[in-house]
Amino acid sequence: MNDLEYLPRMPRDLSVPIGCIGSGFIMADCHLVAYRKAGFQPLAIATRRRQQAEQTAQRHSIEVVYDSYQQLLDDERLQVIDIAVPPDVQLEVIREVVLRPHIRGVLAQKPLAANTDDATEIVRLCREAGITLVVNQNMRYDHSVHACRSLINQGRFGDPVLASIDMRAIPHWMPWQERQGWLTCRIMSIHHLDTMRYWFGDPTRILASFRPDPRTKFEHIDGIGLYILEYDSGLRCLICDDVWTGPAREGAAEDLKIQWRVEGTEGLALGQIGWPRYPEKCPSTIDYTTTADGCWHRPRWEEAWFPDAFAGPMAELLCAMESGEKPTTSGEDNLQTMRLVDACYQAAQEHRAVDFKSPPETNTQA
């Protein structure tokens, strides 16, 4: 696998002190597990529930627990802040972060905010404060997705013709989603839409259709989501996000999986995402073939998206701080993913294709 980049580039300096805000599942079971394995140095943690923060600190050998995130931000040893809070709270936290001149970098969760206007404000605040902002679009660092990007960049598949992501899985929805009024597109489909952007760049047009998820009882406008991304090159991308998958939680047998496929004029790649089997550690896979050799290549690795890929966004942030280069998952880049999500809501609501050459109208209710 010498020519297959499936792992992130790591920074030279692994000792940069990291402050962690939040101690829920994503922080405790994903970020911190991956950080310790990678050799990163989380130094302090704060959350609304001190007891939970203390338990997380003990589990991951974190030196300091603060009573509030404001106290944590005042610790001048901390150069990087890792934020794991609901999207409608993230702007409030960032407003405090930018007041501390010792902070050089921020890793923020996706979605960057509950709407694109707030996300744009977060990007502006960090830019004006001279803070490097990376958004945790961690599917880019799923090892099969990262490997496919490497092959696309090498031109191994020729001109892209058709790509698809087919999800038949049941996410664990967060309690805070009930107050948002949205469900799948801005929290789950955003991964798949961002992956298509990561592989192929911005589309020209987007079509989308939603129906409610029968299992989810609170009101929402986007349950099962279907998407078509059109490119001027002729490339078409299809995404099916089926969060129902049949009555798999109501007594029927389950068939949970995420598959992806990339077809080009000179090659083909097939992928399986291991995440639906979490907490079992199940590495994602890629199988690919090209007209150059006419055989199947089936590289395999031990790392899995959950939790190993969560080292990728932090590694990219630390590398960007070292080199001064703009990270691929920068706040500015992520605004395009947020706008693509907005375009999906608009396309579904208006039952038409939405032009993505210019930013769509922001749907503040989505």
Spatial separation of the C-alpha atoms in residues 221 and 236, rounded to whole Å = 25
Q: Does domain 17-136+324-329 have CATH number 3.40.50.720?
A: yes
Give the model confidence (pLDDT) of 45-75 as tens digits. 999 999 999 999 999 999 999 999 999 999 9
**Strand pairing class (224-230; 205-211):** antiparallel
Confidence class of residue 362 from pLDDT cuts 50, 70 and 90? very low
Residue 363 has what pLDDT?
Answer: 43
Give the model confidence (pLDDT) of 220-250 as tens digits. 999 999 999 999 999 999 999 999 999 999 9
Q: Is the pLDDT of residue 253 over 50?
A: yes
CA-to-CA separations, 103 to 42, 94, 100, 129, 323, in angstroms, rounded: 14, 11, 6, 9, 17
Residue 103 has what pLDDT?
Answer: 98
- % residues pLDDT > 70 (the chain): 97
Confidence class of residue 366 from pLDDT cuts 50, 70 and 90? very low
Question: Across residues 157-167, what is the average pLDDT?
Answer: 98
Transcribe 332-355 into DSSP letters: HHHHHHHHHHHHHHHHHHHTS-EE
Domain boundaries, the chain: 17-136+324-329, 141-305+334-355
Give the model confidence (pLDDT) of 101-136 as tens digits. 999 999 999 999 999 999 999 999 999 999 999 999
> Across the chain, what does the average pLDDT equal?
95
Residue 359 has what pLDDT?
Answer: 53
Q: Would you tell me how many other CB atoms lie within 10 Å of the CB of residue 212? A: 15
Confidence class of residue 279 from pLDDT cuts 50, 70 and 90? very high
CATH number of 141-305+334-355: 3.30.360.10
- Residue 280 makes CB contacts below 8 A (sequence gap 6+) with none
CA-to-CA separations, 131 to 35, 76, 81, in angstroms, rounded: 21, 15, 10
Residue 98 has what pLDDT?
Answer: 98
Residue 357 has what pLDDT?
Answer: 74
The structure's pTM equals: 0.95
Q: Is the pLDDT of residue 358 over 60?
A: no
Give the model confidence (pLDDT) of 298-308 as tens digits. 999 999 999 99
CA-to-CA separations, 84 to 64, 81, 303, 309, 324, in angstroms, rounded: 17, 10, 23, 16, 25
Residue 2 has what pLDDT?
Answer: 60
Q: Is the pLDDT of residue 345 over 90?
A: yes
CA-to-CA separations, 49 to 53, 72, 101, 332, in angstroms, rounded: 6, 14, 27, 32
Residue 282 has what pLDDT?
Answer: 96
